[in-house]
Amino acid sequence: MRGLVTAALLMLMVAAPAAWSQTQDDYRAWILAMQDNPRGPFSRIRWFCNDGTVLPPKAYACREHGGGVQHGQWSAETVKLRERGYLVANLLAAVDTAAFLQSADVEDQYAQLLIERFLMAVEQGWIFRQAIVYRGAIQEEDERAGGRALLTAMAADSEWLGPRFAALRAGVKLLPHGDDNASIGRIRQWSADLSEGDPGFMPLRVRIHGTPSAADAEAVRRYSRSVQTGALKARYDALADEIDRVYQAQPLDQILSDWVSSNRLPTLSRDQLGAALNAWPEASAIDRLTITGGVLAALRDALEQIDTPSHRVEILDVSLRIEAEHFKAGTRVREQLDSFDRSQVLAVTAAAADAAYGTGLLNARLHNELLRTFTTLDVQQLPLSGYRAGLDYLALANGWAVQNLRRYFYPSMMTLAEIEPEAKLFIQDQLRGSPLLLYSQALDHLLRDAGQLAGIKHSVFGTVHGVGFNALNPGTASGVLHTQLPESLTDYRSDGIYLLPETVSDLPPIAGIITRGAGNPLSHVQLLARNLGIPNVSVSPDMAQLLSAHDGERVLMQVSPAGQVRIDQMGDRAAPTAQVQVVIRPDLDKLDLDVHVPLPLAQLRAADSGRTVGPKAAKLAELRKHYPEAVSRGVAIPFGMFRDVVLEQAHRSGTTLWEWMVAQYRHLDTLQPGSEQRKEATEAFRAELYTAILNTPLPDEFREALRQALMTEMGSLDVGVFVRSDTNVEDLAGFTGAGLNLTLPNVIGIDAVLEAIPRVWASPFTERAFAWRQAHMEAPEHVYTSVLLLESVGSDKSGVLVTADIDTGARDVLSVAVNEGLGGAVDGQAAESLRISADGETVTVLATATAPWRRVPDPAGGILKLPASGADTVMTPLEIKRLAAFAQELPQRFGPIEDDEGRLAPADVEFGFLDGQLRLFQIRPFLDNQMVQGSSALRDMDKGLDAGATTQVPLSGRPAR
């Protein structure tokens, strides 16, 4: 059972029935039943002995078996839930620590364990609600011992002190393992739980969550006096006591004095703590905030230098108590923010950033980038443009923290949300109870100030906001706002504006995109949205919550080129005229369907794009000519072979597939646009066409020609190849088509390649690809698919390079997104996102990679998913230099990058590095939507923004309100 319990416990659990046919509705019903069941998720009590023996409960039952622990045994329903991946009813006393930490899916086990502890806090014990008083089921002392053993073992591993630090510290916060300290998180969780069953408490709950203070305890007690139910009154009183415990916790000087005088910390850390101790008694609230932020950061840095794992856990406990002191200081500072000048508010923000690093929300690289930005703002005055740029960069920190937590908890959170919706609140709860709450509030003061000075403002349902949005693509959309995800991709509506958990890599066509996680700006779907002028913004958790209140309403969404966002109800207003008039118009005069043999890349050049093959093969052939060391060998199956083998095959109508297809398109043109009849007829036609192509029989002469071409080019029929779709309707001036069609990775053996080809031929006619493309096509029957067979090459890291700043268009900046392994960044992964000066000397980090997996070629064929390293940095300085040098020499060696109409464009390059050597996988023009950029309505939103760009902003002045 995933390594969480001992083998003996596994063998002797109550057996589940032989046949089950439950659904998620059944599983949710089981969860509700467990909450009311006196035994909760257990069936009975047993002793679990160290030698594997399981015995009925009696005194000293395991005395003759090397000792053991007593606790509940899972019920049949619990066993079934765990078999389905819902790892509920975890008992720390039952953890086999070594097996747990060595299991292949330890991240999921651990994440579900912590999320369950969160659910227990917010849901009155959750499935343990009644089992807590089921005598013998849960032994508190054994649970603490189990938690202590697990955390100590984790603290002995550098992985948990480094890349997984955020997850380790969350465990120290949530798992019982020692003294029961007062908890900020517990205050938030209890207040949320109470408000769920008592709407009258909601205003006070909002205050506790948004602007907490020591006065909340008395406010809760006053409310408690109005409560009639004794049990409920006791819960309010307990919440008030917990608030008092936080605000009356042991002072910092008492917490640290023992550690300063001991030898358990390195000398540097002891000196830092000593300085903090000396300054503490006379420190102001803002100074205490700075001191505690610095101490939290220092303790994190000291962890790996402490030799004893148990001492590391103790330091983490101390860190939690210092975080409470930081929280207390922040409460007092928050009350004074309106009286602070800009430099003081920046100092508050910097202190909160230190604390965010110390508590694991930010990694060291991002923390250092923030410190560098704070340094640029530590001046007497600076131009408004520099002030805004610095604050905009600081505003990225919230997104970094979200992505960091999503890396460790999001998949597990969504798994448990299938049976308990409250699980979706886990990451939000971690953020709202963290130092980033104050960070966001202080930064909001400054961003509103900068926005007012510059004229920037976001308008959401009639209210103005200085923060909460990060514009990714400009554009205009009107449609229905959906904040609840459809169960299937087929349920997305083309007129929908969707609030997504992240940028979905296989997203169907929709009107507008709002994401909780930005993913990376160079993923296929981001480039496609940008090309088609689909507005796309990422939002903060608070803004996502605001939008959720308007689920199902028809709204107008506008995102300006400068990044201003407006979202409002449509009301009786007419929908705006579409800003995007994309027409896919391939050059049919250029098309040559008379080539009927496979072509090695050596026989192709860039001019063959759209003529005999698609742009992937043609442009890669040109790249291989100029960069033979960086581009793999390859063979292309031209458009002519697709026409011969696929479109000329017999159709059941008695005509060829081509003739039937053309007749069907003409019939569809006679149906009312937008009507259900036309939609149904279109889908029936598409599905039949897709199936016919997919089932195309390959003639013997085709098979033999491909064998000979591969043997000649590759020297073997067993070389792994990427089988890539390559059409005449992509990389056009108005339509990139990025990521719409199929690539099958690392296909090994001629038989497997032959099986893959019809799948790739058919991929432009999948429901998603067809929907994105066909509405924009002038002559939809003229879609021709070539196939590129490119030799498989592994990559230590891979990603996308655009030879311009994709936000400003500046040509002296490179935009890069990269991840470990193959296919990095293009599928919407949370990538390392960089802006690099053209000479490679200056690097601005916009995000670090938080994708949990890396892809590597499987020697048996296909791709393996292995854990990512978790390192703060993907690309090395030497690789950055190499990539910059490639970008500089590209126009001279390759020639000017042009769209299909001959206009100059930045290059969009898919690249990789293997053992430090650059590899090139694709090159295309980077296509932006100029109609959106030139839209008068969107330009009007940005009027006057640059008027005061050179205005000097004194840091000694108070922020505008």
Would residue 209 be called left, alpha or beta, if left means φ above 0 and alpha means ψ between -120 and 50 degrees?
alpha
Residue 632 and residue 550 share a domain: no
Residue 198 and residue 273 share a domain: no
Give the closest residue to 561 by CA, choosing from 478, 452, 477, 475: 475
Residue 927 confidence (pLDDT): 73
* Domain finish residue from 547, 569, 591: 569
Alpha carbon distances (Å) from 577 to 494, 564, 932, 935: 16, 19, 12, 11
Query: What number of other Cβ atoms are within 10 A of residue 858's Cβ?
Result: 15
Model pLDDT for residues 273-287, shown as the tens digit of each residue: 788 878 888 889 999
- Stated pTM of the model: 0.82
Residue 618 and residue 537 share a domain: no
Model pLDDT for residues 648-684, shown as the tens digit of each residue: 999 999 999 999 999 999 999 899 987 889 889 999 9
- Structure-token pair, residue 735: 């339509």
How many domains does the chain contain in total? 6
How many Å apart are CA 529 and CA 243, to the nearest integer? 47
Residue 684 and residue 745 share a domain: yes
Model pLDDT for residues 602-637, shown as the tens digit of each residue: 999 999 999 999 999 999 999 999 999 999 999 999
Residue-range definition of the domain harbouring residue 283: 250-339
- Is residue 33 a part of any domain in this protein? yes
Model pLDDT for residues 735-746, shown as the tens digit of each residue: 655 567 788 999
Residue 237 and residue 259 share a domain: no
| Range with the poorest average pLDDT among 13-17, 56-60, 225-229, 754-758 | 13-17
Model pLDDT for residues 815-848, shown as the tens digit of each residue: 999 999 988 766 656 889 999 999 999 999 999 9
Quote the mean pLDDT of the chain.
86
Model pLDDT for residues 449-490, shown as the tens digit of each residue: 888 888 777 888 888 776 777 777 888 888 899 988 777 767
Residue 772 and residue 643 share a domain: yes
Asked whether residue 937 carries a pLDDT value surpassing 80, the answer given is no
- Structure-token pair, residue 702: 């085709």
Q: Between these two residues, 153 and 530, which has the higher pLDDT value?
A: 153
- Is residue 955 a part of any domain in this protein? no
**How crowded is the C-beta side of 714, counted as CA atoms within 13 Å?**
25
* Domain finish residue from 221, 248, 275: 248
- Is residue 357 a part of any domain in this protein? no
Residue 11 confidence (pLDDT): 32
Strands 599-600 and 634-637: antiparallel
Residue 855 and residue 769 share a domain: no
* Beta-strand runs (E) in 737-860: 743-747, 785-791, 797-802, 813-820, 832-837, 843-847, 853-857
- Is residue 502 a part of any domain in this protein? yes
- Is residue 147 a part of any domain in this protein? yes
- What CATH number does residue 491 fall under? 3.50.30.10
Look up tokens 């000017």; give the residue: 896
Residue 678 and residue 780 share a domain: yes
Residue 239 and residue 207 share a domain: yes
What is the 8-class DSSP label of residue 874?
A: S
Residue 660 and residue 703 share a domain: yes
Contact yes or no for 846/806 (Cβ under 8 A) = no
Contact yes or no for 311/262 (Cβ under 8 A) = no
- Is residue 899 a part of any domain in this protein? yes
Strands 832-837 and 813-820: antiparallel
Residue 169 and residue 208 share a domain: no
- Is residue 556 a part of any domain in this protein? yes
Q: Between these two residues, 437 and 522, which has the higher pLDDT value?
A: 437
* Domain finish residue from 552, 569, 586: 569
Q: Collect all residues with Cβ–Cβ distance below 8 Å to 701 and sequence separation of at least 6.
A: none
Residue 194 confidence (pLDDT): 84
Contact yes or no for 555/575 (Cβ under 8 A) = no
Residue 784 and residue 802 share a domain: no
707-717 in b/e form (b: 16+ CB < 10 A) is eebbeebbeee
- Structure-token pair, residue 201: 């408490």
